[in-house]
Amino acid sequence: MNDSPDTTRRVPVIIPRPEHNVSRAQISNNALKVLYRLKDAGFKAFIVGGGVRDLLLGREPKDFDVATDAHPEEVRRLFRNCRLIGRRFRLAHVHFGRDIIEVATFRGGPVQEDEPHHVTTDEGRILRDNVYGDIHEDVWRRDFTANALYYNIADFSIWDYVGGAEDVREGVMRLIGDPEERYREDPVRMLRAVRFAAKLGFRIDPASEAPLFKLGELLAVMPPARLFDECQKLFLSGHAVQSFEHLRHYGIFRLLFPTADAEMDSLEGEVFRALVLKALENTDRRVAEGKPVTPTFLFAVFLWGAVTRMAKELREAGGAPMQALLDSADTILRSQQRHISIPRRFGVPMKDIMAMQLRFTHQHGRRALRTMEHPSFRAAYDFLLLRVEAGDEPAETAEFWTKLQDMDSEHRRSAVQPKRGRTRKRRRPPRRKRPAG
């Protein structure tokens, strides 16, 4: 087992091609095009990060990132299909249709304290880091040892400066350098540690794990939009249950979804906890089956407990049921935006899914038929099924809507007719007076 990596070492352990299982045949053709064009132009070119790690584990990488000594502008001159992005980290994106190969220039340490391309806050958080260097410096700027392995297209070897290959074999997530300092540089690394541990089934090295219990509050200064992106990776990549359990264990979930965390810890929180777990399991199952998933559904579940609690209070104060629910959804969603920014394209259908739960209780007349025509009906119906499983709604409600979907239009109209004895007499409109004369 590795000790803490020696950040003074500048000579890598080079693993030759016969001693590892990574093959060019496993690398996408587009990534190979980028690598070979950089190499042919006289630049160094490596696959780096999760792609190498996943190939060593026998997994199929989701994407391939390239590291090079070519500067972003030089990469753009080599590829007409290249776009430069980023202010915090300047990157080159080489586009092949919908496939994007990300190319990063080797980074180095700041030359002097007032270096304009390297800016940090007083707490050590990196705001801008466009100081370029060589591969010997770049490796120490990466986060985890398992993500700091370089596959060299020149001779198909793997360069390992920090014992990452051994940590991959042992199943360990270990930060490079001083863990607390690295988390302060970029607090989102705490979420990345949780995500990789959940995704890969790795354990977090004790020295890298200890700060997770005390530095979570640093996430409050991160842009809510960036946290939204990280949460999508945590919960919509097939390891939602494990991510959730890790986040709760380290006390980080309450910083991302405070109202959901409070509801689960309340005296009445057992049903809500069951609902959240079933939603997470359902999401993982859909990912495994190749079905689409969206943050709309899962985030609606996270906020449901607080919304229904507030709606109940508004109803008891005399508010109409539907208006109470909508007002509560607006209030809770605005509160959530301070922690994780949920884009409007997800926020609006979230509220529709919640409102439909109330509409499902109305099972007679044209209103019931219009409910089935709503664009959010299918997602809301799935939400209803989870609520029934968790004990949050009677099974009869779901049975009615399940049967109604299997009927033809004539039988549907019959099924939603009011029962005898419950028909309300229609009020006759007042007769209009005839004008005099």
Q: Would you please indicate which residues are annotated as catalytic (active-site) residues? A: 63, 65, 143
Cα 232 → chain centroid = 1
Q: Cβ contacts of residue 181 below 8 Å, gap of 6+?
A: 124
Side-chain half-sphere CA neighbours of 152 within 13 A = 16
Rounded to whole angstroms, the Cα distance separating 386 from 300 reads 12
- DSSP, res 280: H
Tokens of 428: 């006759």
Rounded to whole angstroms, the Cα distance separating 123 from 101 reads 33
Residue 104, helix vs strand vs coil: strand
